[in-house]
Amino acid sequence: MLSRVRVPIHHRRAGVLVARRGFQSRTRFFKPPTAAALAHEEGENVVLGALGKTTSGKRLKIRTYPTFERLEDERLYRKQHLAAAFRIFAERGFDEGVAGHISVRDPILTDHFWLNPLSMHFSQICVSDLILADENGNIVEGNQPINAAAFAIHSEVHKARPDTNAACHAHSVAGKAFSAFGRHLDMITQDSLRFYKSHGVYDQFGGAVLDREEGKRIATALGDGKAVILQNHGLLTVGQSLDEAAFWFMSLDRTCQAQLLVDAAAAGSGNKPKIIQDEEAAFTYQQVGTPAKGWLAFQSYYDEILAKTGGDFLR
């Protein structure tokens, strides 16, 4: 009969071999350099986990959030990526009637945000359809009404989190199924670690959110994290960029789906999932859960929808 033997597992952290907790090691542990320090020494490639040195010694740079000479150019960029996000969400079935909304802060009028018109399907939204609303819910640009719930939630989130520029909310199937439990995710997969100590739970449900006071309570539940699970409702994510917030939503939905599958398997088999320990979770979060990683992860989806639609959403 085979017996299970525990073998020390080691992680290479910034060139230093560190033994896992519970095993002897002659290597003295020290705190890994910060992302900022690594970026200074090796550039964004190191921070983003990219290898980009050619045999001739040339360094290939990973793409990052662009810089803009004019704020008008950044406004257009944000609107284009917002329109793309709606198309991507539609392809993944995140739409349901008039529920769901994504917003991005205007870079010029920073207390205003762009979002979708109330009655248009995600799959049809173009740049020219987007609505600009001020912090009081007045339509500044556009000729269609917006979702009252969208304004109640997004206005308060944008106000409470000036460090973020985008928010995504939808009633995805896995998201609303997991939300029924009103609990946090377990840290059981590498992907779930994107939300390690970075997601909250809003454990109240009072119907459609039409009251800005409830929007404030949702913002409080979000705290300084990137996501909040709205009990009996759905999911909400935020980001420094639209791209980041959209990718966090996509990842959060799939993480909820994985959690539901694991919970079902555990209930049926009696086996318990292995929870990732805090030390490993905190370290991995810096690899997979940063704003730059979220922005980068969205780019392949943007490229895909651009190719599929021929850029139709850019109109």
Q: Domain containing 216 — which CATH number?
A: 3.40.225.10
Residue 236, beta-bridge partner list: 169, 228
Q: At 59, is the pLDDT very low, low, confident or very high (cuts 50, 70, 90)?
A: confident
Query: Domain containing 10: what range?
Result: 1-62
The model's pTM is 0.85
The residues near 162 (Cβ < 8 Å, ≥ 6 apart) are none
Final residue of a structural domain among 17, 34, 62? 62
Residue 36, pLDDT score: 52
The total of structural domains in the chain comes to 2
Structure tokens, 38: 């690594």
Residue 171, pLDDT score: 96
Task: Say which residue the tokens 């913002």 belong to.
Answer: 219
Burial (CB count <10 Å: 0-12, 13-18, 19+), residue 315: exposed
Final residue of a structural domain among 16, 38, 62? 62
In the chain, where do the E strands start and end? 10-13, 16-19, 101-105, 113-115, 131-133, 139-141, 166-170, 199-202, 227-230, 234-239
Same domain, 168 and 57: no
Contact call for residues 200 and 225 (beta carbons, < 8 A): yes
Same domain, 160 and 246: yes
Contact call for residues 261 and 180 (beta carbons, < 8 A): no
Same domain, 156 and 17: no
pLDDT digits (tens, 9 = 90+) for 60-88: 888 999 999 999 999 999 999 999 999 99
pLDDT digits (tens, 9 = 90+) for 217-256: 999 999 999 999 999 999 999 999 999 999 999 999 999 9
Q: At 7, is the pLDDT very low, low, confident or very high (cuts 50, 70, 90)?
A: very low
Residue 132, pLDDT score: 98
